[in-house]
Amino acid sequence: MSVKRPLEGMVVLDFSQFLAGPLAGLKLADLGARVIKIENPKNGDLCRYLYLSDTEIGGVNSLFQAINRNKESFCANMKDANDREKLMKLVSEADIVLQNFRPGVIERLGFDYESLRKLNPDLVYGSVSGYGNKGPWVSRPGQDLLAQSLSGLTWLSGNDDMPPTPMGLAVADMLAGNSLVQGILAALIKRERGHGGSHVETSLLEVLVDFQFEVLTTYLNNGHKKPQRSKINNAHAYLSAPYGIYKTADSFIAIAMGPVDKLGEMISAPDVAKFTDNKTWFSQRDEIKQLIQQTLALNTTAHWMEIFSANDVWASEVYDWEALLDSDAFHELEMLQKLEHEDIENLMTTRLPIRLDGEVLKSPKAAPLLGEHTVAISNEFGL
């Protein structure tokens, strides 16, 4: 028997676009909520036309499918009086509203929390912005790369001789979407205890600062010493050798924390083994990493992994996507699912990364066509 999803019966109106807000909607949908995506009838979510590469899959935008699967699409013009009336009727029936307009826009449209709570006092209202709702950065574009660049995060990745290096994913949007869901779930618990609705807010900048809480706390308490990236195989600006990814004779290998001198003995590198004082593992980490690199390059990853595994060293092969998807460990997780799309026979994506009562939660419903459910929803709610 399929597990009952915890948010079944709840209705979410998702006014958001692109990634952060829609990602929150996706997580809520996979947990059982009914997510109705509110889209402008002319073009809909601009993400429908934004591609990750120069290819598409049979005319279908895979990016939009990944973010907006398992939802319904309702077309409405938020500036049209008749459509506004329909939307307000839907708001009165909703449990959750999501929006990620730039601060001030949703207020001008009359769909801000203070306006909607008068109609639905138990509403849980989730907002994502770029940099909060006040201050000198309010009007800046809330875009992932820009937020990463302002947050200090780009000075943690890459080697020391490299320029600021962003992460290779839209990490700000993804963190914001997931943080918003955490807040919404907490607000739902509050509501179930009889304390009414809530306005849950987060921003790209706030989640990126929180993302750096560990190293930023160090900075705040060590006299504001700037993070110093390693010049060789940097993987963490605040960690000593051997922490990093190293090239072997045939591929790459990752080594986490561990005694440098013991590692040197294992790989038969006396120049590494001589570093017995752990204080030098940070102060001389570039020299140490260079010596480790020279030795590891002499043999294969399999050779070194056999040694490291036998000695309980925290090390790992470095997989690309092909190797990951081919591994037994990945298959055991059942992380992939096929979407039921009428035009694409095998449209694959990932699933919600949690299990409930031992069961994985797959939702094979593809992303909706623009306005696909407008008529059905209108009939259902008497709009």
Active site residues: 173
Q: How far apart are CA 262 and CA 258, in angstroms?
A: 8
> Amino acid identity of 324?
L
Q: Which residues contact 193 (CB under 8 A, 6 or more apart)?
A: none
Q: How far apart are CA 177 and CA 24, in angstroms?
A: 5
Q: Three-class SS of residue 124? A: strand
Q: Three-class SS of residue 325? A: helix
Determine whether 145 is exposed, middle or buried from the number of CB atoms within 10 Å of its CB (0-12, 13-18, 19+): middle
Q: How far apart are CA 362 and CA 353, in angstroms?
A: 10
Cis-peptide into 242, omega within 30 deg: yes
Exposure letters 75-112 (e unless 16+ CB within 10 A, then b): bbebeeeebbebbbebbeebbbbbbbbebeebeebebb
Q: What does the angle CA 239 – CA 241 – CA 242 come to, to the nearest 5 degrees?
A: 115
Q: How far apart are CA 188 and CA 128, in angstroms?
A: 18
Are 36 and 90 spatial neighbours (Cβ–Cβ below 8 Å)? Answer: yes
**What sign results for the dihedral spanned by CA atoms 285, 289, 290, 295?**
positive
